[in-house]
Every structure is written in C-alpha cells, then in structure tokens.
A and B are shown apart, each in its own frame.
Chain A
Amino acid sequence: MTGAIVAIVLQLAQLGLVLVLAPAATGLVRLVKARLLGRRGPPLVQPYRDLAKLLRKEAVMADNASWVYRVTPYIVFALLWLAAALVPTFTTRLPFSPAADLIALVALLGSARFLQALAGMDVGTSFGGIGSSREMMIATLAEPAVLMVIFTISLFIHSTSIPSIAEFVLGSEVGIRVSFLLALISLTMVAIAETGRIPIDNPATHLELTMVHEAMVLEYSGRHLALIEAAGMLRLLFYLSLIAGIFVPWGLAESGAGPAIAIGVAAYVAKTVGGSILLGVFEVSIAKMRVFRVAEFLGGALLLGLLGAIFLYVSTGT
C-alpha cells in the first residue's frame, strides 16, 4: 500500500516538476542564445514573468471565434502536461506510465497539434491558415521518422514503454552502438522540427511569411496565449526529457528511496540544463532554412532511422 502511495506521490511530484522546470528550460535557451550573440539577454525568470503577465490580462477574441478556439488552449496544455509527466524524468517508477507508451505519447502530441491547427483556422485569417497548413505538412514528414526511431529502439529492447527502455539501457552493458547514435540524431532532428526551433521555424520571428507555429497562434491573447506558450515550453521539455530518458538515462531513480530520488532530480536538472545549452549553441550556429527544405531535413532523419534499424540487424545478426 505504501508502495502505491509513494508511486502516486512521485507521479504528482513529476507533474509539478515539469511544470516548474519548463519555462526555465525555454528561458535558458534564450539566455544562451543571447549571450552567444553578444547580448545580455533576459534573466531566467523572464518566461515566468511573461506567463504571469499574460494570465492577468483579459483575453481578446475575434468576433467570429467559436468554441473550438476557446477550448483549444486548455486541452492542448493538458495534453502536453500529461505527455511531459509520463516520460521518466527523475524516476522510472511512475504509476501512469503504462497509460501511454512511446507511440501513444507521440499520438498525444498529435492530438494537441490537431486541435491547435484547427484553432489556427477558426477565425478565418490568412496567417492562421498558413501556420496550420505548414505545421501539418511538417508533421507528416516527422511522423515516419519517429516511427523508424521507435522501431530501432524496440528492435533492440523489445518494448515501447519508456520506463522499460530506460531501465534496460541502465541495467545492461549497451555500450556505444552505432544504431543508437543514429536513432539519437534522428530523434533530435525530429524534436527540433516538432518544437519549432531553428532551422525549421523561428520561435522569435515576427516576420509573417516565415512563421509556422507563431502564425498559427497569432490571434491568441491573455490567458489563452499564456496556456499556449506554456504548452510550447512543455513540448520542448518533453523532447528534452524523452531524449535524456532514452539515450542518457543515468541517474534515474529505480526505487522510491529518498537518496535515489534526490540524485534523480539533480541528474534530471543537470541533463535539462545541458540539453538547453546545447540547443542554444546549435541554434546560433545555423541559419533558418526555407520551408520546403524541411522535407530534405526530415527525410534525412527518416533515412538515419532506417539506417539505425539496418545496422542493428547487421550487428546482432538476427
């Protein structure tokens, strides 16, 4: 019984942790980018302040906005929060993890994208449409690549449940495998596309024709915008935790004991900081690409995923 209570407490703690950490991760990426560009940059707490400010403001909606537009921020936020809370961040003992394996998690993000794209079209403006249409196009390129990564992982580990994957990688002498490296690169490329980072999309842009995600949420304001922004931050943290949980799970607590949990949280924060810094460095060192070059970028991710599976077949000889 105490085991169950501990598990539920851990699950709730993770819900809180990802929510608290998500704006900081986004803030850190911005800070790193600003410093590398020679600016001072906003302090780490700036995203929290922005969210609080937006939440306090009244929401302005277009005259013809429908209920789809109104409910989308809440549902999208809930979906992203749930998805981020199901990935093992500091412990593998999460009671809700069996509710969604890797494929289902990706699909949960798909549900959020579906709703957000609809909300972009709700008011009937040209920018909303352009954002929705491009977002869906990028998703069609990303999903096959994700499946190839999942296939490579499950080929080796025989599971798509993330805690089992993390425990497997932790418990065995996996060593450095070419396939895992390829899968890691492929998943990172997909994550960059899905979170709307440079070179696919620029989260800081306000030049209309280059916007994808920003164009889709252009009409939102007030608490609605706050939730959409928070959902975007959670999406970034979700991918950071996913990549960390699968490829660098070291430090994850496999039991509910206090010290293990403490180490797990510390390791997770360190991994998030590392990931955010890497992302910031990557973003300043590359230029945004044209929308239709995304196909080549994500096609490359698909090929890497496929190569990963082939290498694994060849190396294990099964």
Chain B
Amino acid sequence: MLTAILVATAALVVLGPIGVARGRAAANLVHFGSIAATSVVLGHAVWFLFDGTPTTLTLPFGLPWLAAHFRIDALSAWFLSVISLVGLTAAIYGFGYIRHVDEPGRVLPFFPLFLAAMNLVLIADDAFTFLLSWECMSLASWFLVVANHRQPDNARAALVYLVMAVIGTSCLLLAFGIMAGFEGAYSFADMRAAPVTGRLGGLAVALVVIGAGSKAGLVPLHAWLPLAHPAAPSHISALMSGVMTKVAIYGLVRVMFDLAGDLGWGWGAVLLVLGGASAVLGILYALMQNDLKVLLAYSTVENVGIIVIGLGLALVFKANGLVGLAALAQVAALLHVLNHALFKSLLFFGSGCVLSATGERDMERLGGLIHRMPRTAFLFLVGSAAISALPPFNGFASEWLTFQAILNAPVLPQWVLKFGVPVVGALLALAAALAAACFVRAFGITFLGRPRSDAAAQAAEVEPAMWGAMAVLAACCLVLGVLPTAAIVPLNAVVRDLLGSPFPALSSGVAVHDFLFLAPLEPGRSSYSGLLVLAVVALVTWVVARCAHRLASPQVRRGPPWDCGFPDPQPATQYTASSFAQPIRRVYGTLIFRARERVDMPEPGDSRPARFAVHLIDPAWEAFYAPIERGVAAATARANVLQFLTIRRYLSPVFAALIALLCIVVLAK
C-alpha cells in the first residue's frame, strides 16, 4: 500500500513539469494524471483504514546519514483519504476552471506538485523528510498564490504568506531539533520511543503549536490566511483552505498525541483557548467581509478552531485517564477535518463558478444568480447549510459530537476545566449561530434577490466539469450527514492507535443500530439520527405539499413584489451585504474589532452622493503581524547592502562562517 501511494505521489511530481507545456493537451494530461494518481492514493488509504497494518519504507534519499523514512498508519491514512478525495474533485473541477485562468502555465505545474508535497508530509516518518515536504508544500502553494501576480493585493498577500511560512517552518525545525535530542535521532520512531520531557519537551510542543498553528490559521496567527488563500485560483483556494490547513492539523495531532509522549492537561487547555478564540473571531470576521472568497477563508479559521477545540478536549480527557471520552472528542475533531474539507472545497468551487461567470468576487455587485446559475446555486446552498452545522448535513454531525464531549466536562477533576469547558461550549454555540448568519448572508446576497450589476444580470451556468465536481462533494456532505457512522468506523482505527481506546459506542463491534443512530455513550443518553430526521422531514414535506395542492388551492399568480406597498425597481434598494451584517457588527464588532461606521450625509440641496464607510481593526494584525512585517522590511533593507559587495568582501563572511562552525565542533567535542 505504501509503495502504491509513493508511486502515485511520484507520478504527481512527474506531472508537474508537463504542466509547463502550453496547450489544451498538456492541461488535460495534468488533470487526468492528477485524477488517476489521487484515485490510487484515495483507494489505498481507505483500504488501509479498514484493513491495514502500519508499514514502513526507507528510501536512500535525503541527508547522507539519514535515509528518507516513510510510514503509513491509520492517522496518515485518514488524512491521506481526506486530501486525495478533495484533490480528486479539484482536478475534475480544474478541467473547466483552467479555461478561465489567464495564465494556466502559472497554475498547472504547481497543482500536482502541491498535491504530492501534501501526500509526502503525511507519510513522512522522519523530521527531515517531514520538513522538506512541508516546505515544498508551502512553496508550491506560494507559487499558486502568486499565479495571478498582476494584482497588487496578491503580491502583498504572497509576501506575507512567504514570511509566515518561513517563520512557521523555522518553529517546526527548532521543535524537531529539540525532540531529536543531542543524539540527533531524527526518525519519528526514535522520537516516539524516547519522548523529550520536562521544560525542553514543553518548549518543543509550544513551537509545534506555533508552527503548525500558524499554518492551520489559529488565532492570533491567522492573519496571513485570509490574504493568501483567496489570492490563488479558486480550486487552489479550495485545496489550501480545505486541505492544507488539515495537513497542519495533522502535524499538530502527530506531535501532540504521538511523538511528544503523554502531555499534561495544560496543553489541552491551551488548545481549548486557542480553538474557542479562533472559532468565534474567525466567523465574526467572516461576517464582516464583502469579498466572497475572503469570507470563506475567514470561515476556515472558525472551522480550524472547532477542530482544535475537539483536539483540546481529547488531550484533556486523555491526560485525566478518560480515554473513552478522549476517543469521542478526537473522533469529533477528525470527523470535522473531513467534513470541513468537503464543504469548504465545495464552497470555494462555488465561489470560483461565480467568479468565472461574472468576474466578480464582491458580493455587493452580485445577486439573483439562482435564476441564471441554478446548479451552482443549489450546490452552494448545500455547502452553506452543511457549514452552518444544520441537520441533516455533515457539519452538524461533527459539531454535535463535539458538544457531547463538552457536556461530559463535569467528570474532569480540574476546576479550571469544569468551568472553562462549558464556556468554550458557549463559544462554540455562538460560533455555530454566527456561521449560520454568515452563510445566510453569503448565499442570500450572492444568489438571491435582484442582480446588483450587469455582470451578475448576464451570468451563465458553468461547465459540467465544474458543477459536477461540486455535486460529488455535495453528495458526500449529505451522505456523511445522514450516515456519519460510515466515517466513524474507519476513524475508529485512528483513535485506537492514538489513544488506545475505541469510539465508545463502537467498542463492542458495529451493529445496524450504530448506523441508524449516533449515540456516542450509553444508549438512551443522547442520540441523533440524521437519516431518520431527513426521511421524516422529506416525507412530511412531500405529504404537506401534496395535501396543500390537492385540498387547498394549487394556484400561483406572479406579480410585482409587495414590499409593504412600495416596491422599488432599483436593485440598489435591496438589503446589501454590509447592511445585513450591521446588527451583528454593532452587537459584537464594536468591542472586538473597534468597528467604526462613518456616514457622510450631504446637506439637503447638495448633489454629491452620500457615503458610508466601515472601519475594522483586526487586533491580531496589530499585535503580531504589523511588528513582524515592519521588522522583515527593515531587515531586508539592511541586507540589501550585501548585494553590492566586492568578491573579497563576499568571501570574508563565508570564511567567518567556516571558522565559527569549526569552533562549535571543537567546543562540542
């Protein structure tokens, strides 16, 4: 299995250079090749989850004294399946979308490379391979972010992304350096056998939280994400938001549950705080955005927060010896990893359809697209319902499981957690409600109402490849919503590996009842059945509709809208994206974002237009990013001197470095 996955990954690497060639054939080859390779990986990863034993493979690459180690276990297989499923649909979507990209030569080579790098991160079994693949993943995605480099915003986004990626990787580098210890045991097997404990171990975990957390978009390290993710072409945005953040989550899980040994509950509390903050702030910020893709990127911050809350709970329960509850929380988190990958990619694909049909990302210039793009609209609606955690879709199943884990917080012995976890639960409920508001707004303004610009009024439905890829994801969202157990059964292998305990409800095998009802702890306590809910609601809806048409009046008359007697033909009188967000901005934003509204109303008789501006401040940007950005700018300005040295002066730093290294070697001996 591991060999097959490696071969498929190698094939993806080979496909990269082919993408440089111009013409339709090269593009088709890249996409067909990616579809084939991701299908192979997906098939093998799923197969492994049901029936596989961890396998390792050593290849003679990399550092001279350290060959490249690869290993597949249940955790990597789970993330591999998530990534290849989304990668597969992205490749299908790419068939149609690439025609709308200005310079396909800037996208095609890096698409398969990006997928390959992510696969390699997941199967890497030593620090060197892991970091190398991680860096390749960052670089490939960076090239995709600058694919559309002529827009000045994108250039800035790319710079911020590069700086943050470098900082993140250096944190991971240091962390792995600490975990490898002085003997230089860089393979994960060695780290697992002898985890570093004490302050040094704590430092390593903290560095991993910073390094992987910044990649995943945890508050307060999130500010690069809403700049970089939307800048890429839409199917790449889907991969970055839906999948690359999951690779970062994988890094977090791999270290905190596997390599770092048994961590104390304090680390769980740290994750809970970070997750709760990310969930609420991410979605609040998403609500304030008018750009559809930026909105989706901020909502990724929220969902990463939900996942991290689950992981924090798992860590807290595990540290207190409650492995059954830990398994419940971890299943919730890892299920949300899959769910978020599905619906976020679906929504990014949808935003790509809107972008290619209208050329607009600004919701204030869209509207009424449901009439002209019915398929896209329907599929986007499914994604919106799923991400808003509405039953019977998949987002609800994982959030429900997270809530069930939260409700068990009273059994924890620590008082901080007894009080803290319910507060995190309230934050999670707040985030879920805000997400619903956010996606009512996103779908309502973009697809419903009347068109706000000519481009929106003249849009046309997109190619079948594009909505077809979305349909696959939408179907997955519904199936996993009504039958979440289908994903929990393979996940069981993961939690058994990591925590030594199965998902509580599946500890004595899987029965039909487990597929019908999601009842994580003992039956009769708390249960949910998406299938029953869907079936009954569908049946009742059908019966009511039939009865209403048969017994009451079936007639429908079309007329102008009522609008309290004053319908205005101007589409500008509709509610806009900004006006929809206004109540929420006023209730929550004034405190958190120091939101200020400025209304410039001309005097009566004055003919200049009235103006309205909203000013928001991201506290994380001010506190963390602005200083880093300024520091990097100052440092590069200084370092610029180095470009104009004579050869003599160039040699002197090289010589100095050599001397310094020799000194270190002597001192170390």
Contacts and interface: CB of A to CB of B under 8 A. Distances in A.
A84 to B, nearest CB: 12
B64 interface: no
A159 B561 contact: no
B436 A136 contact: yes
B562 A219 contact: yes
A66 B371 CA distance: 7
B175 interface: no
B563 A133 contact: no
B584 A137 contact: yes
Most chain B CB atoms below 10 A, which of A62, A140, A313: A140
B385 A218 contact: no
A74 interface: yes
Interface in B613-666: none
Contacts of B580: 129, 132-133
Contact of B367 (A124, A292, A306): A124
Interface stretch (B127-135, B211-219, B531-539): B531-539
A61 B443 CA distance: 21
A318 B410 contact: yes
A122 B443 CA distance: 10
B562 A62 contact: yes
A98 B527 contact: yes
A83 to B, nearest CB: 10
Contacts of A66: 370-371, 448
A144 B429 CA distance: 5
Contact of A127 (B428, B437, B563): B563
A208 B367 contact: no
B537 A161 contact: no
B563 A144 contact: no
A129 to B, nearest CB: 2
Interface in A119-136: 121-130, 132-134, 136
A181 B425 CA distance: 21
A229 to B, nearest CB: 13
A77 to B, nearest CB: 6
A140 B434 contact: yes
Contacts of A61: 556-559
Q: Decide if the interface of chain A is mainly helix, strand, loop or mixed.
A: helix
A147 B553 CA distance: 41
Given A66-B448, A125-B567, A143 B574 contact: no
B184 interface: no
B60 interface: no
A98 B529 contact: yes
Contact of B368 (A113, A124, A221, A309): A124
Interface string A129-161: 110111011011111101110110011001111
Nearest to A137: B583
A223 B552 contact: yes
Nearest to A299: B587
B587 A103 contact: no
B508 interface: no
Nearest to A131: B575
A170 to B, nearest CB: 15
Interface of A: 55-68, 71, 74-75, 77-79, 81-82, 96, 98-101, 103-104, 107-108, 110-111, 113-114, 117-118, 121-130, 132-134, 136-137, 139-144, 146-148, 150-151, 154-155, 158-161, 164, 208, 218-219, 221-223, 226-227, 291-292, 295, 302, 306, 309-310, 313, 318
16 contacts: A64-B561, A67-B370, A75-B537, A108-B391, A111-B390, A114-B436, A117-B440, A122-B448, A124-B561, A133-B583, A136-B440, A140-B437, A144-B433, A148-B425, A151-B422, A158-B525
Given A121-B440, A147-B429, 10 more contacts: A59-B553, A60-B558, A100-B533, A124-B571, A125-B575, A133-B575, A133-B580, A133-B581, A160-B407, A310-B419
In the A-B complex, the 9 residue pairs with the smallest Cβ-Cβ separation, listed nearest first, are A129-B575, A124-B449, A121-B444, A136-B437, A55-B552, A62-B561, A58-B555, A143-B433, A147-B429
Interface of B: 367-368, 370-371, 381, 385, 388-391, 396, 400, 403-404, 406-407, 410, 418-419, 422-423, 425-430, 432-434, 436-437, 439-441, 443-445, 448-450, 517, 519, 524-529, 532-533, 536-537, 540-541, 544-545, 548, 551-553, 555-564, 567-568, 571, 573-575, 579-584, 586-587
